[in-house]
Amino acid sequence: LGKGKNRKAHWAVRASEMSKRTFNPIRAIVDSMKVEPNHQKPLISLSIGDPTVFGNLPPDDEVIQAMKEALDSGQYNGYAPSVGKSWEMLSMYAAPILLLLQKSNMPTLLGILYTGYLSCREVVAGYYTCPEAPLEAQDVILTSGCSQAIELALAVLANPGQNILVPRPGFSLYKTLAQSLGIEVKFYNLLPEKSWEIDLKQMESLVDDKTACLIVNNPSNPCGSVFSKSHLQKILAVASRQCVPILADEIYADMVFEDCKYESLAKLSTNVPILSCGGLAKRWLVPGWRMGWILIHDRREIFGKEIRDGLLRLSQRILGPCTVVQGALSRILRQTSPEFYHNTLSFLKSNADLCYDALSTVCGLQPVRPSGAMYLMVGIQMEHFPEFENDVEFTERLIAEQSVFCLPATCFEYPNFFRVVITVPEEMMVEACRRIQQFCERHYEGAEGSQDLECDK
């Protein structure tokens, strides 16, 4: 017998290289923060990009009703192809359409799934289409959250050994997924002094023959920044010049404060092919529901059939998002009340202002004003906090003394900053800022030998 012949069998089950490479940089950092909050003070966690944690931002009632309606219909319990245009889908994974099919004498079986859950892809296409960047159902791939959208987009665009360009600071999942897939990550810089615009020159200098795509995250986690139209155009110019397709992480699309305008990259692109990743998680405040999508923008047919087919194939591995949410999607996108969006954003804006204003007055801190999303980055003038070696130590001690937990921006490859999540209830935001101030006052030291021994704030 094969194995018997070659060796004495013994148990040696090892985890695959891929699973070892699948590593979340935040883990090492946060795991090393072995510290307890101050028992005198209740913990305030400003660390989690989940707007639902505090109960102050429930989803729109319409959204809940849409789910119940989908459940009651009995139409959304079966397999729904996230894509479907062939017999294969028909044969492997069904759609309610088959019932119909049996009653009617359809001329052909081919392509019928275009009328099944295709309705759901159609709804997304209809929601995001615009004359400059038209979308049809076939341009939409439904995924299990924006995370899977990014995973599939990376998996189709890049081979192991190729590289991708990723923002710094940036969302850690890009690196986790790329490493998992054996793709190299090159970081381009965002400039805090320019409201986190991209250092375009430096970004362009990173492009080489092995560059498979450029990830642009707008609005940004962790920065809360929103790119202007002209900056987006400049990004597109680089991509166009270098012939690099863009993976646009637009999960915070339209989540911008009133004084600011959100533009999708695809709308501004004349030739650069774009995979735009999005989902329900943030704007509709239901991250746990795991509904995401990829919008394929390819007006010059640069992606062509190959990339589309690749996405279809990859998306079949786990068969798309929960069908109940798919069933509810039309009503969610079409009927969520304008007030809901408005209220969410004005709450976020008010918290952002509150936090920015409060931390601006704190010696040693340099918050950067956000324009959207749910975050705010705060620079730490480390030279004024000689007790702490870095942002990790700073935030660690902030927990220990003040029971306020912010993620050190080392988690986003950006030392000497920390990130504040602004979805917490207002009183909590106020109290957190007060404690951060107290903490900084206690530890601030004027730089020796310089004039500003005292902070002049």
Ligand X SMILES: Cc1ncc(COP(=O)(O)O)c(C=O)c1O
- Which residues bind to ligand X, rule: CB under 6 A? 49, 145-147, 171, 217, 221, 249, 251, 279, 281, 287, 292, 319
Please give the angle made by the CA atoms of 143, 144 and 150, to the nearest 5 degrees: 65
CB-nearer residue toward its own copies: 54 or 347: 54
CB-nearer residue toward its own copies: 4 or 449: 4
**3-state helix, strand and coil shares in percent for the chain, rounded to the nearest 5:** 45, 15, 40
Asked if residue 145 binds its own copies (CB under 8 A), the reply is: yes
Min CB(76)–ligand X separation in Å: 14
Residues 64-93 within binding reach of its own copies (CB under 8 A): 64, 67-68, 71-72, 74, 76-80, 86-88, 90-93
Size of the site for its own copies (CB under 8 A): 140
Single residue of 282, 290, 384, 435 touching its own copies by CB under 8 A: 290
Write out the two tokens for 450: 């310089």
In 3D space, the residue among 154, 397, 395, 143 whose CA is nearest the CA of residue 289 turns out to be 143
Min CB(128)–its own copies separation in Å: 22
**Which partner, ligand X, its own copies, none, binds residue 221 by CB below 5 to 8 Å per kind?**
ligand X
CB-nearer residue toward its own copies: 100 or 447: 100
Q: What kind and span of H or E run contains 189?
A: strand 184-191
Q: How far apart are CA 29 and CA 367, in angstroms?
A: 22
**Which partner, ligand X, its own copies, none, binds residue 189 by CB below 5 to 8 Å per kind?**
none
Q: How far apart are CA 261 and CA 21, in angstroms?
A: 39
CB-nearer residue toward ligand X: 251 or 378: 251
Residue 242 contacts residue 208 (beta carbons within 8 Å): no
DSSP annotation of 15 reads -
Asked if residue 288 binds its own copies (CB under 8 A), the reply is: yes
CB-nearer residue toward ligand X: 49 or 364: 49
Single residue of 273, 278, 364, 370 touching its own copies by CB under 8 A: 273
Q: Which stretch binds its own copies (CB under 8 A): 296-304, 364-372, 440-448, 449-457?
A: 296-304
Q: How far apart are CA 340 and CA 60, in angstroms?
A: 6
Q: How many residues does the chain have?
A: 457
Q: How far apart are CA 83 and CA 89, in angstroms?
A: 8
Q: How far apart are CA 213 and CA 190, in angstroms?
A: 17
Single residue of 45, 189, 264, 351 touching its own copies by CB under 8 A: 45
